[in-house]
A and B are shown apart, each in its own frame.
Chain A
């Protein structure tokens, strides 16, 4: 076992890393209540006025609407495709199994700009004008893997004997799926869907190359920060986006016991 001093040093190290990870995130929430429109520390006072100003801004509203719609559409598609893949891979061991898993994680492991300009070239050569649906196609591509990982992990932990018992008692394939398999995997499907939505809602790089002239919320944020304009509203929007991306993780981690939300290869 570690000596007392080593343990103490490790504890201090962990505490410092946690502060490093969380102080910046918490700071943004403070700035959202800043009375001044100059972003300096310490903030002179607290106010709620930027929240209503942000909510009333038509540009931000339409960006929010686009982000929600694209996120929901991409999540729905990723849900179907990711679950299909998880069921297929779970059922059999075949030579291409690892290749398929690698293929699915590729859009998250490769820099977004590669996926972005590839899809951009694909759409322009294929004669598809950039639209709502090109955003959805791009987002679905990198969202599939989170649904796939969650559902596959759950299927691996599910006991095959339950399904065999249902079959022995005379249930047909559909009944078994509806009454046994679906309830067993449902929380992992929900977790996967929430994480896929969180991923889509915050994505900026692939979106830049697939959105054309439309603004999603992250594209609006990027533009505003870059120009240094309307930062009080940026503070509010960014706080909101942090919540939208964090809350699904908390729920997903509860539903799957943590591992499902790892996003990086964590467990085998």
Chain B
């Protein structure tokens, strides 16, 4: 951290309205004796209202039947919503499967590609800063704009993707308009967006690796492949696992690109749990059922996180 504090004008300006050093009023005395409370209370109160209220509301509503458009009060129905989801709702089962399929595919692609690119890039070259800036762009670009340009590229008749795959004698494909292709095509967009994140995280991890294990491995006559599998990968594992955790949590909740590009279609072929919940809650206004789907989605997110945390701790 550079010492940026030698800014006299700024400090001088502030002292005009800052509480002077010695506590004088009852309020400043209170700040002195309860600093954590005073400093965190505003943020904690707002987080509580903004985020904890919806959690209680959702859990409460998940046990009720209620349409936002109706005039009657919510009716308590116990666990009926959950029973309906798991036993009667074909669309829900489809959504669960698609969510897991999309998440597994996108996360696996990103991690394998991201780590491979990092290993390729882990060498000295000029213009590292420039490379990095360009590489960051996919993940900060506005998702709606990304979805739009990929839709255009995926266009079955005029899109540049069919032209490009045509150059190597493949296609034409219908990409997101094809029931079998839609999830891999969407996973490709997510992979394009987020592979750079994994690469940058892995590069940062590679930069901190100790040299000694490699030196002793060289003396023992280890091959580069052995060094990669026996030294680099185990040392990188914690970094990769945290990246994997973050990406899989976000993939389970992917909304923007799927909603803009397919809205869950064709048919229900890309309707993940998040999209389905959105439709049930904010299109059909069935708040009770949507709330129970939300509880299930959150349980899924938590479950995946716990599994990954466990895997990270134990042997892999």
| Chains A and B bind each other | no
Which residue numbers of A lie inside 8 Å of B, CB to CB? Answer: none
